[in-house]
Structure 1
Amino acid sequence: MIVIVDYGLGNLGSIKNMLRKIGYSSMVSSNPDEISKASKLILPGVGAFDTGMRHLTDSGLLDILGYKALAEKIPVLGICLGAQLMTRSSEEGCLSGLGWFEAETLKFQFDGIAGKWPLPNIGWRDVFDVNGSPLLSGFNSTPRFYFVHSYFLKPLEQDIVSMNVSYGFEYACGLSKGNLHCVQFHPEKSHKFGMQLLRNFSELT
């Protein structure tokens, strides 16, 4: 069973609806017992980094999420804020992240870069595969995904980068390490491209 983790932030219903549309059952849960039975986890999120970490802590889910991700090693997908929470820290806040990826979350800075780059970065962007991401298999054309964010993922290890995108400059918008995956964009808002990515994740073993 795919469990979409409910810690009070994120487009939970949209993710569940898209999974159902492509033929996969899932449940939205904040119950540690239900999460303990998950075969895959999706960690969504919309909002501020420290708020997300406080919600995760207050929900009492840190231990079971860490066990499923790091000990049991089931496939995990972080989306948007959920992706950022999987890094070590964020310039948006002062709390430590989950630290599942050797990466930091930084605010966009465009000093010295020609052009106008308003924040947040909102819109559709072409996303490019790096290191053969399993989440980007089966696309017949360059995938385009929907972004809404002012902070981006800065990997400390280049071999964890799975996807790149450009907005002012090229940066990582997807990270993968073993069973752990995260994306900065919103597959649940990205129509056929998001469906294919979620299908790829749902079929991971």
Structure 2
Amino acid sequence: MIAIIDYGAGNIFSVKNALDYLGFENKLTSDKNDLINADALILPGVGAFPEAMKMLGNSGLIGVIKEEAKKKPLLGICLGMQMLFEKGYEFEETDGLGLIGGKVDKIVAPGYIIPHMGWNKLEKLNDCPLMDGLGDNEYVYFVHSFQAYCDDANIAAYCEYPDKVPALVTDGRFVYGAQFHPEKSGSTGLQILKNFGGLIK
């Protein structure tokens, strides 16, 4: 079972619909026992980093997420991906979950529209099981004004806007993050979610 973490700041229903379509057993939940008993976790997120981290803190789930991420697949989506990092700088400095080294700050793209919104090509950087079965001309859907700044070793794929913006990140073990919305990215996004579900042992 995949637990979709419901802490009040996520686009949870579109993620659930995508998992239902793919045939994965899943549950929207804010119960820590569900997270412990789940085979994998998804952390969605929309809105601002400080408020989302506050809501996650109020849910009492931060500790169990950190513990479970040591032993089962976890996928952060959009703001949920950003929350995987150590620090965020949207409005104010805020601690993230610290599951991947690095920070989240404004996209620096002179002459480009911010937020970065729409379809952009995935550029592969490092091997990642979530990209199995994907070709070299895959496009996914983004909506964000902030990006991750981290080591290349943690970047599985990026997009160009105009510089390298991390699109798919990982700690190299169980933790993954998608800056884009796989549940809104057509067949490419569904393949990525299918690959995530395939990590369940």
TM-score normalized with structure 1 length: 0.93
Aligned equivalents of 1:191, 1:174: Cα separation in 2: 16
Does residue 77 (structure 1) correspond to residue 71 (structure 2)? The answer is no
Aligned equivalents of 1:168, 1:159: Cα separation in 2: 20
Residue in structure 1 matched with residue 178 of structure 2 by the alignment: 183
Aligned equivalents of 1:34, 1:161: Cα separation in 2: 29
Residue in structure 1 matched with residue 163 of structure 2 by the alignment: 169
Residue in structure 1 matched with residue 124 of structure 2 by the alignment: 129
Residue 158 of structure 1 and its aligned partner are, at CA, apart by 2.2
Match of residue 159, structure 1, among 153, 163, 183: 153
Residue 109 of structure 1 and its aligned partner are, at CA, apart by 1.8
Does residue 149 (structure 1) correspond to residue 147 (structure 2)? The answer is no
Aligned equivalents of 2:165, 2:3: Cα separation in 1: 29
Q: Helix, strand or coil: the match of 1:142?
A: coil
Report % sequence identity: 35
Residue 140 of structure 1 and its aligned partner are, at CA, apart by 4.1
Q: Helix, strand or coil: the match of 1:89?
A: strand
Residue 119 of structure 1 and its aligned partner are, at CA, apart by 0.9
| 9-18 or 169-178, which deviates more | 169-178
Residue in structure 2 matched with residue 6 of structure 1 by the alignment: 6
Residue in structure 1 matched with residue 98 of structure 2 by the alignment: 99
Aligned length: 198
Indicate how the Cα distance of structure 1 residues 131 and 140 shifts in structure 2: closer, same or farther if over 3 A, else same. Answer: closer
Aligned equivalents of 1:141, 1:163: Cα separation in 2: 11
User: Which digits, 9 at most, give the CA deviation of each residue in 1:32-60, with x for residues without a partner?
Assistant: 11111011000000000001110010001
User: Which digits, 9 at most, give the CA deviation of each residue in 1:81-136, with x for residues without a partner?
Assistant: 0000000111203221111000110101234xxxx311111000000222111111
Aligned equivalents of 2:65, 2:20: Cα separation in 1: 23
Aligned equivalents of 2:101, 2:57: Cα separation in 1: 21
User: Which digits, 9 at most, give the CA deviation of each residue in 1:157-187, with x for residues without a partner?
Assistant: 3211111111121221121121110010000
Residue in structure 2 matched with residue 31 of structure 1 by the alignment: 31
Q: Helix, strand or coil: the match of 2:88?
A: coil
Aligned equivalents of 1:62, 1:10: Cα separation in 2: 15
Residue 197 of structure 1 and its aligned partner are, at CA, apart by 0.4
CA contact (8 A) 2:43 2:74 kept: yes
CA contact (8 A) 2:109 2:161 kept: no
Q: Helix, strand or coil: the match of 1:19?
A: helix
Q: Helix, strand or coil: the match of 2:41?
A: strand
Paired letter, 2:189? G
Residue in structure 1 matched with residue 115 of structure 2 by the alignment: 120
Aligned equivalents of 1:165, 1:158: Cα separation in 2: 13
CA contact (8 A) 2:77 2:179 kept: yes
Paired letter, 2:22? I
Q: Helix, strand or coil: the match of 1:102?
A: strand
Match of residue 86, structure 1, among 84, 87, 92: 84
Gaps of 5+ in 2: none
